[in-house]
Amino acid sequence: MEKERNEWVYTEKVKDHFLNPRNILEDEQSYEDDGKGIVGNIKCGDRMMMVIKVDKDKNVITDCRWKTYGCASAIASTSALSEMVIGMPLEEAYHISPKDVTAQLGGLPEHKIHCSVLGDKALRAAINDYYQRNGMPEKVQKEEARIICQCMNVTDHEIEDAVLDGARNYYELQERTKLGTVCGQCKDEAIELLEKYKKKHFGEA
Amino acid sequence: MARRQIYMDHNATTPLHPEVKKALREGMELYGNPSSLHSFGRKARHMIEESRGKVASFINADPEEVIFVGSGSEANNTVLSMLMCPSKVCSCGNADMAGREIITTSIEHPCIMRTSECLQDRGVPIKYLSVDQYGKIDFEELAGAITGRTGLVSVMMANNEIGTVQDIKETSRIVREKGVLFHTDAVQAAGKMPVDVRELDVDFLTLSGHKIYGPKGIGALYVRKGTPFCPLIRGGHQEQGRRAGTENTLGIVGMGKAVEARGKEMNTESKRHLQMKRALKEGLAGSIPDIRFNGHPTDSLANTLNMSFKGAEGEAILLYLDEAGVAVSTGSACASGSLDPSHVLIATGVPVEQAHGSIRVSLGRGNTMKDIDYLLEVFPPIIKKIRDMSSAYKRES
């Protein structure tokens, strides 16, 4: 549908950020960052690095640079995120979600949402790195995974990833994660999380 | 730099040949049902049979051995689906095909791969032959894989992604020696290299119209005379009862004209494409570091060049090339909407991260050496731009 409208899979904003990416980390060696985060794996097709400079008195991000290995939506969402956070207080930046980035880009095709989720993870990793370096380990919010399906060892993070990857119902969730395929005791909790993440990322009830 | 629009994705589909367009315009006047006995019907019937003759002569078959179907995918589905036909009334039932094992390869087109998986779920055992780093099957593995339970072997003639061409004559010899039926998907090979069903000695062979400058929505299946067969689509006497449904008269007319034109142009075009491909390959190898060429270096379609770039993702490369006016395709997962990169590249041992960064250029009759020059001009800066922002590429300095 979108292709027919503007002959591009993506919105004009995505296209602009993809063709003219902002804030690329050009000289990695000489850039003196206050925090650095690297997430993803090139084997999965995405790997992102974000570095930030921080005004230590005001706790505000003064610069954000990045490098990313990934598709057009990965490049565009990292670029858009870097623009969003410059001048933003650390606390606020910490809570940016993929949905915020997607909104900034005017939307992404649903099957490309998972390409955009690494940016905010890399940013949080960079902010955590800043807190660690500056003696504020108590501010680091650990994102520890919680095991939901004991039989198949599936965590809430994996459920979130499956939702971002397109799972919309319990069956699709099972197809992707294999959760609940042994004893089935986790079904209610898994469905609860499924609905939560659907709402978080896609605004669906 | 003048902006151009260059189509280099001919393995995906091709534009209509000018002669096909002309034939289609004339064919639009044919509205009679080819099954009708009156003059309107007879005219349409005549055009269909004329096209059947052209397709038959294109592959050195007899006209009655050619069945028109809706696509190459339908032809492949038809052949494979015979292995689950429980009917005793069709000829495959008599041949006791149902439930027998299928042997195919790990680099087939998705219409073979997905159909095989589906058949497996319904109780048909499937074996997948491995391929070497160039995409070639191993004849010893093939011979060893065939058992008394094997009902069909299906090996594609030329691969759509990497262009590797199998030795179908030898493959068929091994298979038929053991009394097993043999099918080859020649959708990519046909029109790019000679395809002769007598010389190849195959039982079934698949063709598609839109890969050879014909219309979309038309394909053909060669079925050797006397070979067990059952239709996928039932309920009509059309195509000698082997494919029900009122014939796609216009598509058939277009496909007939397309093979006729291919027959005239193919040989000189292949030589031209080979020169262009060499120039492109050498030019890119000389101007872009950390590039890898996939597929067989010599046993390959003259028009197909597949390559991977370290540290650059395929969809990003494709879209930058598209902005520069060049249309190609990629084996990257991101472009397909799945999480897995090309099964063909993975089967040939290309590392996953490089499979994500693969690009296929497939030349066609409209491409010239000027297009190659243009591509050589725009390609290196695009790879440089992507690598400069890549977190997975370190430039050697």
Of B110, B236, B226, B229, nearest to B161 by C-alpha is B110
Helix, strand or coil, per DSSP, at residue A69: strand
What per-residue confidence (pLDDT) applies to A184? 76
Q: Looking at beta carbons, which residues of chain A come within 8 Å of B388?
A: 24, 26
What per-residue confidence (pLDDT) applies to B333? 72
Of A48, A52, A55, nearest to A63 by C-alpha is A52
B222 inside 8 A of chain A by CB: no
Q: Looking at beta carbons, which residues of chain A come within 8 Å of B323?
A: 19
Residue A46, both tokens: 């995405």
What per-residue confidence (pLDDT) applies to B397? 42
B391 inside 8 A of chain A by CB: yes
Report in angstroms the alpha-carbon separations of B66 from B53, B81, B115, B261.
9, 18, 22, 18
Please judge whether B313 and A69 are an interchain contact, meaning their C-beta atoms are less than 8 angstroms apart.
yes
* In A105-155, alpha helices (H): 117-133
Q: Looking at beta carbons, which residues of chain B come within 8 Å of A19?
A: 320, 323
A19 inside 8 A of chain B by CB: yes
The residues facing B137 across adjacent strands are: B131
Nearest CB neighbour to B313, from listed A21, A43, A45: A45
In this structure, how many other beta carbons lie within 10 angstroms of the beta carbon of residue A204? 11
What per-residue confidence (pLDDT) applies to A90? 94
Confidence of residue A180 (pLDDT cuts 50, 70, 90): confident
Please judge whether A67 and B391 are an interchain contact, meaning their C-beta atoms are less than 8 angstroms apart.
yes
Chain B, residues 77-96, CB within 8 A of chain A, namely: none
**Any idea what the Cα angle at residue A53 is, between residues A50 and A55, rounded to 5°?**
145
**How many angstroms separate the CA of residue A122 from the nearest CA in chain B?**
12
Q: Does the annotation mark B111 as catalytic?
A: no
Whether residue B167 contacts residue B200, with contact meaning beta carbons closer than 8 Å, is answered with no
Percent of all residues in chain A with a pLDDT value above 70, rounded to a whole number: 93
Please judge whether A71 and B316 are an interchain contact, meaning their C-beta atoms are less than 8 angstroms apart.
yes
Say which residue the tokens 């195919």 belong to: B104
- Residues ≥6 apart with Cβ < 8 Å to B351: none
A71 inside 8 A of chain B by CB: yes
Distance between CA atoms of A86 and B70, rounded to whole angstroms?
56
Of A124, A120, A118, A127, nearest to A35 by C-alpha is A127
Residue type, B131: V
B390 inside 8 A of chain A by CB: yes
Give backbone dihedrals phi and psi of B291, rounded to 5 degrees, phi first. -110, 145
ipTM of the complex: 0.86
Say which residue the tokens 């790990």 belong to: B106
**How many angstroms separate the CA of residue B358 from the nearest CA in chain A?**
12
Nearest CB neighbour to B391, from listed A21, A69, A72: A69
Residue B118, both tokens: 């589906």
What per-residue confidence (pLDDT) applies to A146? 77
Distance between CA atoms of B215 and B208, rounded to whole angstroms?
9
Distance between CA atoms of A104 and A119, rounded to whole angstroms?
13
Of A83, A94, A88, A37, nearest to A58 by C-alpha is A88
Residue A112, both tokens: 């490309």
Whether residue B221 contacts residue B69, with contact meaning beta carbons closer than 8 Å, is answered with yes
Reported in sequence order, the residue ranges of chain B that DSSP labels E, i.e. its strands, are 6-7, 66-69, 101-105, 126-129, 150-154, 181-185, 204-208, 219-223, 291-294, 304-309, 326-327, 329-330, 358-362
Q: Does the annotation mark A186 as catalytic?
A: no
Indicate if the pLDDT at residue A144 is higher than 80: no
**How many angstroms separate the CA of residue B368 from the nearest CA in chain A?**
26
What per-residue confidence (pLDDT) applies to A140? 82
Q: Looking at beta carbons, which residues of chain A come within 8 Å of B320?
A: 19
Question: Each residue of A41-98: pLDDT tens digit?
Answer: 777 778 899 999 999 999 999 999 999 999 898 999 999 999 999 999 999 999 888 8
Give the chain A residue whose CA is nearest to the CA of B332: A45
Q: Looking at beta carbons, which residues of chain B come within 8 Å of A48?
A: 391
Estimate the crossing angle of helix B249-287 against helix B18-27, to 10 degrees.
Answer: 160
**How many angstroms separate the CA of residue B214 from the nearest CA in chain A?**
24
Give the chain A residue whose CA is nearest to the CA of B333: A45
Confidence of residue A24 (pLDDT cuts 50, 70, 90): very high
Distance between CA atoms of A178 and A170, rounded to whole angstroms?
10
A172 inside 8 A of chain B by CB: no
Nearest CB neighbour to B315, from listed A38, A66, A72: A72
Nearest CB neighbour to B389, from listed A21, A38, A114: A21
DSSP designation for A203? -
Average pLDDT rounded to a whole number, residues A110-129: 84
**How many angstroms separate the CA of residue B365 from the nearest CA in chain A?**
25
Distance between CA atoms of B78 and B233, rounded to whole angstroms?
8
Calculate the CA A156 to chain-centre distance.
Answer: 15
**How many angstroms separate the CA of residue B120 from the nearest CA in chain A?**
18
Tell me how long chain B is.
397
**How many angstroms separate the CA of residue A13 from the nearest CA in chain B?**
15
Distance between CA atoms of A178 and A155, rounded to whole angstroms?
11
Whether residue B166 contacts residue B138, with contact meaning beta carbons closer than 8 Å, is answered with no
Residue A19's Cβ-side half-sphere holds a number of Cα atoms within 13 Å equal to 14
The residues facing B185 across adjacent strands are: B206
Tell me how long chain A is.
205
Whether residue A39 contacts residue A121, with contact meaning beta carbons closer than 8 Å, is answered with yes
A24 inside 8 A of chain B by CB: yes
A36 inside 8 A of chain B by CB: no
Nearest CB neighbour to A69, from listed B337, B341, B392: B392
Pairing of strands B358-362, B304-309: antiparallel
Distance between CA atoms of B316 and B336, rounded to whole angstroms?
13
Distance between CA atoms of B186 and B396, rounded to whole angstroms?
43
Please judge whether A70 and B313 are an interchain contact, meaning their C-beta atoms are less than 8 angstroms apart.
yes
Indicate if the pLDDT at residue A2 is higher than 50: no
Q: Which residues of chain B are under the pLDDT cut of 50?
A: 1, 397
Sheet containing B204-208: order of strands: B66-69, B219-223, B204-208, B181-185, B150-154, B101-105, B126-129
Of A148, A153, A101, A146, nearest to A122 by C-alpha is A101
Chain B, residues 280-299, CB within 8 A of chain A, namely: none
Q: Looking at beta carbons, which residues of chain A come within 8 Å of B393?
A: 69
Sheet containing B291-294: order of strands: B291-294, B304-309, B358-362, B329-330
Largest CA distance in chain A: 54
Residue B249, both tokens: 């008269």
